Amino acid sequence: MNIPAASTTPTKPHRPTMVRWRILLLLGVLSFVSYLLRGNLSIAAPTMMADLQLTEIQWGWVMSAFPLGYALFQFPGGVWGGRIGPRKALALIALAWAVLIALTSAIPSAHVASSALILACLLTIQFFVGVAHAPVFPVLAASIERWFPIGRWGLPQGLTSSALTIGLALTASALPWLIGVYGWRLSFLLLAPFGLGASALWWWYSRDRPAQHPSINPAEVALIAIGRDPVEYDDVAAAKPGEQPAWLRVLKNRDALFVTLSYSCMNFVFYVVFSWGFYYLVKVRGFSEQDAGFLTSAQWLGAGIGAAIGGWVCDRLCRRMGLRWGCRWVIIIGMLASAVLLLGVAFHPRADVAAVMLGLCFFFNQSTEGPYWAASTAVGGRHAGAACGLMNTGANLMGFVNALLLAFVADALGWQIAIAIGAGFAVVGVGLILLVRADCQIDQAA
């Protein structure tokens, strides 16, 4: 700040404004709405399967369509979001969520259409639901990288993960009641305005870079800029002649690849709960749909607490140990605990104990979210959208594998073996995270 020469009154340095935390609140709203509008299918599964006369195997294909579209468009979505900027990207995709959930409610019924037509409609719409949701977390991670100081990304990432778990908790507790009163079609329509509202709110308040925001002061801009390259980030990262494009550098980076593989193993456990948890409690463990809804809601709330705690611990460890081990330790503990608890879910004879262990498993599973995204953000730097898009691509391809694998294994070998498979993936993920060097950044050239 320039001080006039005639001024003799000493000035006090301004305190940093809190605009970055308001941006984080809006990112949390988007995360919440994303899962509010994408978790409905797994909760409505028993009702929809009966109404549309679909088998478990057919439903397994339906559940695989979302993660396939979601996985295939993670990396392109992250690159696209980096090119047009987080403000425009997140506003557009939230608008698409509202349209697609409304289309889902219009699926033809079994009285007027064949199973093949119903299945084709569900597969097509759910694939595009996956496409529309794919860019949200890579672009969200890019926003956090721009709006928070280096090494302070774990807690914001953890809090946005907490917001998504609250979205699913609300869906799990409220949607069974809505379906019971209004049916699944009208219940889906009632959720669509949440996407419209989130899109409008984000567009109104957000900006692509801190310096562009009218409410921020120089002290907060300086705080966010500590340790960064003084060159202002470009929204469009175009490679110079003879230079590899950023997306190719991300694809060839060993640390970006290893964090992707490890996070994919963690996400297999996530999809055990997300795609099959409600169904497992109702059909395998014998809970009523309403009780299973409340249990699922409690599990997601616990997972939200775990995500916040994991992100907070990660940031503290990063300050003490550096990025490499600060991110690793939370992931190691969370994944090993998830593996042990998932074996308990599979083999304990009592349904109530299995439900508690499933909730604890999810708590530890989600405690790793912030550290994983912080590690990928650290590796990616200014190209965090592309790096996180790659990480979430592998993770959600694992969701496609999970949806089909668990359906076939449960049919052939039983649900005990199907659930226990997740423990093996968790252990492999621990080994892979030990190969990730979060303090080694990819080439940051445009």
Q: What is the CA radius of gyration of the chain?
A: 22
Q: HEC states along 212-224?
A: HCCCCCHHHHHHH
Residue 296 tokens read as: 């699922």
- What pLDDT, on a 0 to 100 scale, did the predictor assign at position 197? 93
Which CATH number is 85's domain given? 1.20.1250.20
> Which among 56, 47, 55 has a CA at the least distance from the CA of 105?
47
CA distance 59 to 41: 10
Positions in the chain whose pLDDT score sits under 50: 1-12, 232-238
Q: Is residue 7 part of a domain?
A: no
Residue 237 included in any domain: no
In a domain, 240, yes or no: no
Which tokens sit at 47?
Answer: 């009702």
C-alpha to C-alpha distances, 64 to 75, 220, 271, nearest whole angstrom? 19, 44, 11
For 200, the domain range is 19-211+246-433
Q: Is residue 439 part of a domain?
A: no
Pairwise CA distance, residues 99 & 74, whole Å:
20
pLDDT of 78 reads 79
Please report whether residue 337 resides in a domain.
yes
- Phi then psi for residue 214, to 5 deg, are -70, -20
Alpha carbons 66 and 361: distance in angstroms, whole number: 24
Residue 219 in domain: no
The answer to whether position 308 is within a domain reads yes
The whole-angstrom separation of Cα 191 and Cα 168 is: 12
Calculate the CA 275 to chain-centre distance.
14
User: What is the pLDDT, as a whole number, of residue 230?
Assistant: 58
pLDDT value, residue 94: 93
Q: Is 316 exposed, middle or buried (0-12, 13-18, 19+ CB in 10 A)?
A: middle
Identify the burial level of 193 via C-beta atoms within 10 angstroms of its C-beta, where 0-12 means exposed, 13-18 middle and 19 or more buried: exposed
Residue 46 lies in a domain: yes
pTM above 0.75, yes or no: no
Return the closest-CA partner of residue 257 out of 133, 433, 121.
433
What's residue 108's pLDDT?
81
Number of domains in the chain: 1
